[in-house]
Every structure is written in C-alpha cells, then in structure tokens.
C-alpha cells in the first residue's frame, strides 16, 4: 500500500495547519493507519486496540499527555471516551498551536459523538473510504470534481465536453466486481480476495458489532446484512424487510442505523422541496463497497455479475459511492446528497446540493442512453430551473444528449 497515494492526503495536511486535531474516520482495513503514518511519518504512534498500550495510556491520561503534548497518532480512538475529555484540556492549554494530533476510528457513531461533544471547534473530521478507482491505479482525480468547487453554470459546457478519462472501462468494471479494500485488491488473487472478504465480514458481524452492541443478536444481524445487500441501490421498505426476517419495524430501523453508522451501508435521504409535495420520504440505501456486495451475493466473475438481476443496482451503488468519495476528497465544503422520487414514480438516482447549486445525476449500466428514457431527469431540471444535469454510464466519451443533459462515462468519476 506504500506506493498508493490517497486523494484526501493533501486535504488532511491542510486541515492540520488550521486545527490542533484531525480525526480520520473510516471502516476497518481501509488504510487509515497507513495514511496517518504517511502524512506524519515522524510522529509517535499509539494503537488503543493493543491492550498494553491502552492500559498504559489510561492508567494516567494526564501524565500520558504531559509526556506527549503533540505530534502523536492515536489509532482506534473511539475505544476511549475519557481520551476525548482529557484531550480537550490539553488542546486548550495551548490553543494557538495547531498540527498536534491525528486520531483514527472505525466506529463512527461513537467517535463522532465523542469528538463533537468534547472537541467542538478544535477538531476537523475527514472520512477515508476504500480505494477509488483512480487511487487504485494511481491516476489524478477526475476533472469532474472541479465542478463542485464553484457555482454550476451553463458556461461549464465547454469544460465538460473537454473531459478526458485517465482510467479504462475494464479498470472500472474490475473495481465494481472487486471493490476497493486495499489488501484483497492489491493481492490480485481470487483465492485471497474471497477468503479475505469472508474473514472481514465475519469479523465485522461477530467481533466489531458484538463489541459495540453486546445485546444484539449477531446471527440475526448477519441475516439482515445479507438481505440488505440485495436491496442496495433501492428504496428500503422497512416493513417488508421486517416481515422477511421476522423483525419488527423498530428493530429494522435500529439495524439500518447500525449498518450506516459503522460505515457498512450508506442511507441516502429523500430530496425534499416546497415545490413538489408528493415526494417519497423513505430512505434509499447502498452497500458501500461493491466488492463486499458481490461477495454477499455469491458473485465471483464479471460474467456472473453481467447475468445478475442486480447488476443495474450494483452499478448505481458503485457509481454513487465513487462520486461521494470524490467530492469528500475535493475542496468542496457544505454539500449534501439525496435521491428524488415522487409517489407517481418520477425518480432521479442522485441529487447533489451545496454552495455549487443543485446537480441531478442519473446512473445507467449500459453504453448509451436514449433521451426518451430521461424524462424524470428532464423534468427535474425544468422544475428547478437548473443549468444542466448529467447521465453516467459506460459510454466511451462525453456527449451532449440535449441542451441541458450531458452523458459522462463512468471512467470519469
């Protein structure tokens, strides 16, 4: 992994210049520890999952920070609520000094709550995901993400038409099949990949989830995740899901919150606006790593994936996650994501909103998309008077499908 540059590297470096502490959030085995050591190779490193290290630090936190007042990396910080309360005083004792601490954590609900309560105004939080396709193949981020660093405008047309891909469709499709977790994708060995996925999933369910939620039925939660994987890219009907698993709706809601909070699943809220009253309110969702999705569905080859009834949903989930990861690594601030669907069935797969404006995105697995299949996208653009919308598919090049709709290849995201 040492030779793989991560897109958020520069962002974290800049945040350390203006904050005393940066927290790197992400699922296990996505590369948080490695990245923190690459960003600050000379800092001391402490792993709180090592029992000896944990006990030594927690015997006397104040003494530990007197010995280490800055330039330290603390891994799996969510295991220690006391750490955050002590760290607040350490930071405030020299508030003008930045670039002091990197904390990492795999369990975002606990970590975000602890950091938000104890370190408000003193910490920046950055999310690290498994590899994007461009990171895996060490290519520059797509020019597509520059659109989100200013206000979207009709004048973007020439720039969009000039976009050129630096990765191949085969590389995209291999990432769709294999996912982005560093260890299995860098091994490039089907045996390693399948066995790593099995161990990772079992560890997630029977160790990580059990440690966070001791009273949770691990076997039932495992069945829930398997069922959820078949719903990636769709609106999740909690009542139907509960009936399939013999769970009440409250339990389903709790399971969804756990899956989202542990960065296994991403819940995508419905787009709301005063202009359209009849919008769907149930959340949509995606499994966040396409390799795990394929593993849970028993898919090992591209042929199996192509023949799967879930191929369209899988591709939509993959592209959505790639886009969100790309924006997170860019300079964009104050942005959000949602999906749009009315009760009459008008739907837009992804709606990006922020200081840049509003951008609707349709995602199609094919190599070309006919304009007559995009009536929902056209209607959304018209209703909200937008400069343009985009379609992402597996085409070879950028094309203008209409005055306000651009077709962008998946190799550009």
Gap between the Cα atoms of 210 and 202, Å rounded = 11
The four Cα atoms 1, 258, 318, 139 give a dihedral, to 10 degrees, of -30
Residues 25 and 168 in one domain: no
CATH of the domain at 103: 3.40.50.300
| Res 112: pLDDT | 75
Considering the domain boundaries, does residue 2 fall inside one?
no
Is the pTM value of this prediction over 0.85? yes
Looking at the chain, how many residues does it have? 413
- Cα distances from 46 to residues 19, 54, 328, in angstroms, run 20, 8, 27
Q: Which two tokens stand for residue 112?
A: 């975000």
Q: Which residues touch 316 (CB under 8 Å, ≥6 apart)?
A: 233, 286, 349, 363, 365
Residues 96 and 146 in one domain: no
Structural domain span for residue 103: 9-127
Residues 174 and 295 in one domain: yes
Residues 142 and 90 in one domain: no
Residues 53 and 141 in one domain: no
Low-confidence stretches of the chain (pLDDT < 50) are none
Residues 118 and 145 in one domain: no
| Res 110: pLDDT | 67
Q: Which two tokens stand for residue 5?
A: 């540059």
| Res 281: pLDDT | 79
Which of 108, 127, 146 delimits the end of a domain?
A: 127
Considering the domain boundaries, does residue 4 fall inside one?
no
| Res 224: pLDDT | 96
Considering the domain boundaries, does residue 190 fall inside one?
yes
Which of 101, 127, 153 delimits the end of a domain?
A: 127
In this structure, how many other beta carbons lie within 10 angstroms of the beta carbon of residue 51?
A: 9
| Res 274: pLDDT | 59
3 state SS of 248? coil
| Res 345: pLDDT | 80
Q: Please answer whether residues 408 and 144 qualify as being in contact, where contact means their C-beta atoms are separated by less than 8 angstroms.
A: yes
| Res 307: pLDDT | 95
| Res 276: pLDDT | 63
- For 321-394, strand residue ranges (E) read 335-341, 347-354, 357-363, 389-393
Helix axes 81-92 and 51-59, enclosed angle (nearest 10): 50
Helix axes 108-118 and 81-92, enclosed angle (nearest 10): 30
391-411: pLDDT as tens digits: 999 999 999 999 999 999 999
| Res 176: pLDDT | 98
| Res 120: pLDDT | 80
Q: Is 378 left (phi over 0), alpha (psi -120 to 50) or beta?
A: alpha
Gap between the Cα atoms of 363 and 4, Å rounded = 28
Considering the domain boundaries, does residue 273 fall inside one?
yes
| Res 108: pLDDT | 64
Gap between the Cα atoms of 316 and 268, Å rounded = 13
How many separate domains does the chain show? 2
């Amino acid at each position: 992994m040492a030779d793989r540059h991560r897109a958020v590297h520069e962002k974290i470096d800049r945040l350390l210049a203006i904050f005393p502490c940066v927290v790197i959030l992400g699922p296990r085995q996505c590369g948080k520890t490695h990245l923190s050591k690459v960003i600050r190779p000379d800092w001391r490193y402490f792993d709180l999952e090592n029992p000896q290290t944990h006990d030594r630090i927690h015997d006397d936190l104040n003494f530990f920070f007197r010995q280490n007042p800055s330039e330290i990396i603390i891994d799996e910080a969510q295991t220690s609520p006391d750490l955050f309360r002590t760290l607040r005083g350490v930071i405030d004792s020299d508030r003008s000094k930045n670039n002091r601490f990197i904390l990492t954590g795999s369990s975002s609900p606990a970590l975000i709550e602890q950091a938000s309560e104890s370190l408000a105004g003193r910490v920046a939080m950055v999310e690290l995901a498994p590899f994007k396709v461009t990171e895996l193949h060490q290519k520059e981020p797509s020019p597509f993400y520059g659109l989100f660093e200013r206000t979207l405008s009709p004048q973007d047309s020439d720039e969009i038409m000039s976009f050129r891909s630096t990765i191949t469709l085969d590389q995209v499709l291999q990432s769709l099949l294999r996912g982005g977790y560093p260890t299995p994708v860098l091994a490039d060995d089907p045996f390693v990949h399948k066995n790593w996925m099995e161990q990772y999933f079992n560890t997630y369910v029977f160790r990580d989830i059990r440690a966070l939620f001791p009273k949770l039925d691990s076997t039932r939660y495992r069945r829930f995740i398997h069922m959820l994987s078949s719903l990636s890219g769709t609106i999740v009907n909690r009542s139907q899901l509960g009936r399939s698993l013999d769970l009440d709706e409250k339990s389903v809601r709790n399971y969804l919150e756990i899956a989202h909070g542990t960065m296994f699943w991403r819940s995508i809220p419905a787009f709301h606006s005063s202009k359209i009253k009849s919008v769907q309110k149930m959340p949509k969702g995606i499994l966040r790593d396409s390799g795990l999705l394929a593993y849970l569905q028993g898919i090992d080859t591209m042929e199996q994936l192509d023949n799967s009834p879930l191929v369209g949903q899988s591709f939509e989930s993959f592209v959505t996650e790639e886009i969100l990861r790309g924006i997170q690594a860019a300079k964009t601030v104050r942005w959000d994501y949602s999906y749009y669907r009315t009760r009459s069935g008008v739907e837009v797969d992804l709606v990006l909103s922020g200081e840049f404006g509003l951008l609707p995105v349709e995602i199609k697995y094919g190599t070309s998309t006919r304009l007559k299949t995009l009536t929902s996208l056209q209607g959304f653009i018209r209703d909200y008077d937008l400069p343009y919308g985009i379609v992402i598919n597996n085409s070879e090049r950028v094309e203008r499908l209409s005055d306000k709709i651009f077709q962008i290849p998946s190799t550009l995201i």
